[in-house]
Amino acid sequence: MPVGDEDKWESPPFEATERDGAIYGRGAADTKSNILMHVGAIRAWDGKPPVGIKIVIEGQEEVGGGAFATFPTIRPELFDADAMVIGDMGSVRPGVPTLTIALRGMFAVTVEARTLAGPKHSGQFGGAAPDALLVLIRALGTMHDENGNVAVDGLRRESWTGASYTDEEFRALSETRPGIPFLGTGGLGERIWSGPALTVTGLDALPVESAVNAVVPFARAKVSGRIHPGQDPLEAQAALVRHFEAQRPYGVELVVHTAETGSGFAANTGGPAYAAARDALADAWGGETVSIYVSNGYVPPPPTNNDDNNGPGGNGPGDGPGNGPGNGPGNGPGHGPGHGPGGNGPGGGN
């Protein structure tokens, strides 16, 4: 992925630079540290760990597919294991050993409003000619209530009692401006992990620089949904489709198209590898291991026919640890490198 505006980098993006115990550089956190953590864990055993290990390195997550989506089912013997350790996420905060035990599912839809055969001069027709952009904006506004909670029937939301960010941590991580309230009510964990989120990720309309004095005849938006790990994404997608189809903003019917979906993942946390991971991480870090869900990315879990291998991972199945200390750079500004089983290094964010 590109480095963006290099003027905003405090150090050259392709020169690894150490600052305050963390390594900065393009890809240092995602995904170079993810690879090095496995190398570090093996080195901690002088290259002779007490169990058999298979290492899988794949780079097709960022393009949303590729051969890894199907290859494990074609050559399952290459992936057969008693436990999987998948490192892709950061700790809930620096210094806190963290296991990711679930991933939210996702889906998307596009919604369209068409009102006129073509644009009409707003000075002559505005005020009566139906504006497609106003229709669409009104429809999109019905997805949330006045507090910003998702208001679409059929999307699963449950309370969250595990570890979570503080309001101050979330404001810093999300770069929410001072004085701007967060969306929704209830705990942060419930809003960003065990509840749904609906985000308008694209909007087809004239940019301000190209605006003309005309009533807009057609407008379209794409909505991305993140859902509870245990909810069927097709079921959730259908719920949003029904919601939009039931709307008649200013009497105008909407057209809704379904787009991509992805199933969530919830780990089986009752296996021996999970228990061993919690104990090892707690011992390595000197503190209690906590568990979190993931909402800031979607990586479909590798296909598997072995339900006994379901367990915690950074992103995906496996009765093994996901995030914790590793012998390498962390996922963001870190707490300092550590030696321990698995994990995505000592970083404090993705």
pLDDT of residue 292: 84
What pLDDT sits at residue 101?
A: 86
Joined together, the tokens standing for residue 299 give 């990586």
| H or E segment and range at residue 187 | none
Task: Specify the pLDDT at position 35.
Answer: 87
Model-wide pTM > 0.85: no
CA pair distance 88, 345, nearest whole angstrom: 10
CB half-sphere exposure, 42, CA atoms < 13 A: 11
> Is the separation of the CB atoms in 151 and 145 below 8 Å?
yes
Q: Annotate 55-121 with DSSP letters as a single string.
A: ------GGGT-SGGGTHHHHSGGGT--S---------SSTT--EEEEEE-EEEEEEEEEE--SS-EE
Strands 98-103 and 265-266: antiparallel
For the chain, 350 residues long, the average pLDDT of each consecutive 10-residue run is 86 93 86 85 91 85 68 91 82 89 93 97 97 98 98 96 92 95 95 95 93 96 96 97 98 97 87 90 91 62 43 34 32 31 31
